[in-house]
Amino acid sequence: MNQVQVHSLFTDFDIDLFKAGKHFRLYEKMGAHLTEVNGVKGVYFAVWAPSARSVSVVGDFNYWIQGEHQLNVRWDASGIWEGFIPGVEKGTTYKYKIQSNNNGIITEKADPFALYCEHPPQTASIIWDLDYKWKDKKWMDTRKDKNGLDKPFSVYEVHLGSWRRNNEGKFLTYLELADQLVDYVKETGFTHVEFMPIMEYPYDPSWGYQLVGYFAPTSRFGKPQDFMVLVDKLHQAGIGVILDWVPSHFPDDAHGLGFFDGSNLYEHPDRRKGYHPDWKSLVFNYGRNEVRSFLISNAIFWLHQYHADGLRVDAVASMLYLDYSRKDGEWEPNIYGGRENLDTISFLKDFNEAVYADFPDTQTIAEESTSFPMVSRPTFIGGLGFGMKWMMGWMHDTLQYFKKEPIYRRFHQNDLTFSMTYAFTENFMLPLSHDEVVYGKQSILGRMTGDEWQKFANLRLLYGYMFTHPGANLLFMGAEFGQSSEWNFEGSLDWHLLQFGYHDGIKKCITDLNALYKNNPALYEKQFHVDGFEWINYSDSENAVLSYIRKGNNEKENLIIVANFTPVVRDNYRIGIPTKGKLTQIFNSDSTEYGGSGVVMTKPIKIDKTPWNYKEFSAELVLPPLGVTVYKIS
């Protein structure tokens, strides 16, 4: 006997939007909602399963018996099954038992819109609400002043399960992280944190990039409201929150989105478009309107309900190209004969337009590793509409350069200067991310060449060069104190290393670089514009020295940067200066405080009326070994 009452949260307009791929608040209708109907408390359920013959809600409340609570299919051919079940309470576990029209196949699925999930390896959804009293109004009212492209973006990338463990080796909870992580990020001076995926995922070694609960923070670390506390406290500390978002693929776990109603509902039915050979996972059907509504609603959900300040979109290149990781014969060209996935391009434009329409004070960031054009340009001029794009070319070339012995670096100056030939074609974020410290690549410190002193000097030089290069910055956790081993997601960072001077010095160096970046508008006001950068000398490959100017809106605040990529002290090194006055050194990566040799110019340096480097004036400097120095003109 069916104990489900006819009830709906959908209007005809909702259905029209859903079918058109334009309903971006589906989470307000779909899923399980605690509500009251005719004075009776219970839960309204709604699930999309157009190929279903019947859909039952099974769970704690009915001993998981199929058929006890069958939902009603809507009359409008939307494929939505819905109904109200009295007496079901918050905290109840449940799934959908779906009998398909396709040969009677029966699937048992978690709710795609579940707000909370059981702790893996358990797979049920949990009835929950998102009631929470936020305390971050000051941040939310003013974050447009923190998230603009002309503002500092120094991002600390975090994997919550391995940032730090407790004394028993177990995960820290969201609430524990709300104290420890917030204090640490504030101390080191990062402007934003980026969380690797916190949406529910079944398999720890995926690091969260294989999602099954797109609307649920993982229960590994606590309840949904506990995650809200973490975001809230970061905001109260003046720190923005970026979430990794994975619309590129999803796993084929039995309780997940794959083959949901006995058909290829969320995934593309053509394996050439619907299966990812690298990750052995399923790929969304970006041409299906209802799937577009699902994905864009999910993006909006995290910005709306969890106050996220940005979304970093994972694996965009894999979405854009039909031949990505596929051999000849394993992919089909688009209607114009090209390799671009036209459905994906359309979807990404819709996604970015929807985000910026509702949340203009946030940012979307693409992890896109190819030269696909105009990723971070507005859709109205033909771009994909992202706010920023990861600068993978800079990352690759720079790390390759720093692996080389200094004696050979004069032959590879182009590895460093090449980035400036395309630096302003996109709004680039410079990433030294988790992908660079796994699978035998070594830690960032481990990539540096030389003896112990030189390795740490090179690392400080790398960071100084990174923070003064045009663009925003991202650093994976552990790199800020010179983690010496590769990242291990099953343990904690090696915090004990901070007892050693060189590692503590790296942390102090990063802290000061964050302060330098935030306190000097020349480093961020025009970080994505060609007017914000000028070479002084890029051709001194013999000495492996680069010198350049970073510019903001006020030319009196411009900075001079000189980087020496060899362990040789350069005395009486002359560089051109565009104006008269004096130079004052405001940062030196060779400071003894950081573990350097202490070749520091503490007194103001006279600027001579001696033309040099095609500049009217010049000054003689002492360049520290494997060091970067930053100067102000006064």
Please write the tens of the pLDDT for every residue from 485-496. Answer: 999 999 999 999
Model confidence at 600, pLDDT cuts 50, 70, 90, reads: very high
The mean per-residue pLDDT over the stretch 124-137 comes to 98
Q: What pLDDT does residue 104 have?
A: 83
Q: How far apart are CA 184 and CA 179, in angstroms?
A: 9
Q: How far apart are CA 385 and CA 382, in angstroms?
A: 8
Task: Return mean pLDDT, the chain.
Answer: 97
Residue 430: strand, helix, or coil:
strand
Asked if residues 31 and 130 have their Cβ atoms less than 8 Å apart, the reply is: no
Asked if residues 50 and 265 have their Cβ atoms less than 8 Å apart, the reply is: yes
> Residues of the chain with pLDDT > 90: what percent?
98
Closest to 149 measured CA to CA, from 302, 464, 361, 312: 361
Answer whether 12-126 and 531-633 agree in fold: yes
For 239, list phi and psi in degrees, rounded to 5: -115, 130
Write the CB contacts of 331 (distance below 8 Å, at least 6 apart in sequence). 272, 273, 322, 323, 339
Handedness of CA 254, 260, 263, 266 (dihedral sign): negative
Break the chain into its structural domains and give their ranges. Answer: 12-126, 531-633
Q: What pLDDT does residue 1 have?
A: 46
Q: What pLDDT digit, counting tens, does each position of 258-294 carry?
A: 999 999 999 999 999 999 999 999 999 999 999 999 9
For 402, list phi and psi in degrees, rounded to 5: -70, -15
**Which residues have a catalytic role annotated?**
314, 367
Closest to 157 measured CA to CA, from 609, 495, 476: 476
Q: Which two tokens stand for residue 497?
A: 């290393």
505 pLDDT exceeds 70? Answer: yes
Q: What pLDDT does residue 612 have?
A: 96
**Straight-line distance from the first to the last Cα atom of the chain, in angstroms, rounded to the nearest whole number:** 84
Residue 589 burial by Cβ neighbours in a 10 Å radius (0-12, 13-18, 19+): buried
Write the CB contacts of 494 (distance below 8 Å, at least 6 apart in sequence). 478, 483, 484, 485
CB atoms near residue 10 (< 10 Å): 19
- Amino acid symbol at 588: N
What is the architecture, at CATH level 2, of domain 531-633? Sandwich (2.60)
Q: How far apart are CA 237 and CA 264, in angstroms?
A: 45
Q: What global pTM score does this model have? A: 0.97
Given its phi and psi angles, is residue 592 left (phi above 0), alpha (psi -120 to 50 degrees) or beta?
Answer: alpha
Model confidence at 300, pLDDT cuts 50, 70, 90, reads: very high
220 pLDDT exceeds 60? Answer: yes
Closest to 191 measured CA to CA, from 165, 221, 155: 155
Model confidence at 3, pLDDT cuts 50, 70, 90, reads: confident
The mean per-residue pLDDT over the stretch 513-522 comes to 98
Look up tokens 């001077």; give the residue. Answer: 501
Closest to 525 measured CA to CA, from 146, 150, 143: 150
Hey, which residues does 94 pair with through a beta bridge?
59, 125
343 pLDDT exceeds 70? Answer: yes
- Amino acid symbol at 158: V
Q: What pLDDT does residue 2 have?
A: 59
The mean per-residue pLDDT over the stretch 42-54 comes to 97
Of all helices (H) and strands (E), which one includes residue 628? strand 627-633
Closest to 97 measured CA to CA, from 46, 44, 59: 59
Peptide bond preceding 378 in cis form (omega within 30 of 0): no
Write the CB contacts of 305 (distance below 8 Å, at least 6 apart in sequence). 27, 130
- The CATH class of the 12-126 domain is mainly beta
102 pLDDT exceeds 90? Answer: no
Q: How far apart are CA 347 and CA 382, in angstroms?
A: 13
428 pLDDT exceeds 50? Answer: yes
The mean per-residue pLDDT over the stretch 359-380 comes to 97
Asked if residues 296 and 228 have their Cβ atoms less than 8 Å apart, the reply is: no
Q: Which value, to the nearest 10 degrees, does the dihedral of the CA atoms of residues 293, 295, 301, 303 take?
A: -120
Model confidence at 457, pLDDT cuts 50, 70, 90, reads: very high
Q: What pLDDT does residue 80 have?
A: 98
Residue by residue, what is the 3-state secondary structure of 66-112? CCCCECEECCCCCCEEEEEEECCCCCCEEEEEEEECCCCCEEEECCC
Asked if residues 89 and 127 have their Cβ atoms less than 8 Å apart, the reply is: yes
Model confidence at 88, pLDDT cuts 50, 70, 90, reads: very high
Q: What pLDDT digit, counting tens, does each position of 577-594 carry?
A: 999 999 999 999 999 999
Q: What pLDDT digit, counting tens, does each position of 385-414 carry?
A: 999 999 999 999 999 999 999 999 999 999
Q: What pLDDT digit, counting tens, does each position of 528-542 carry?
A: 999 999 999 999 999
The mean per-residue pLDDT over the stretch 514-540 comes to 98
Q: Which two tokens stand for residue 336?
A: 């114009």
Q: What pLDDT does residue 17 have?
A: 98
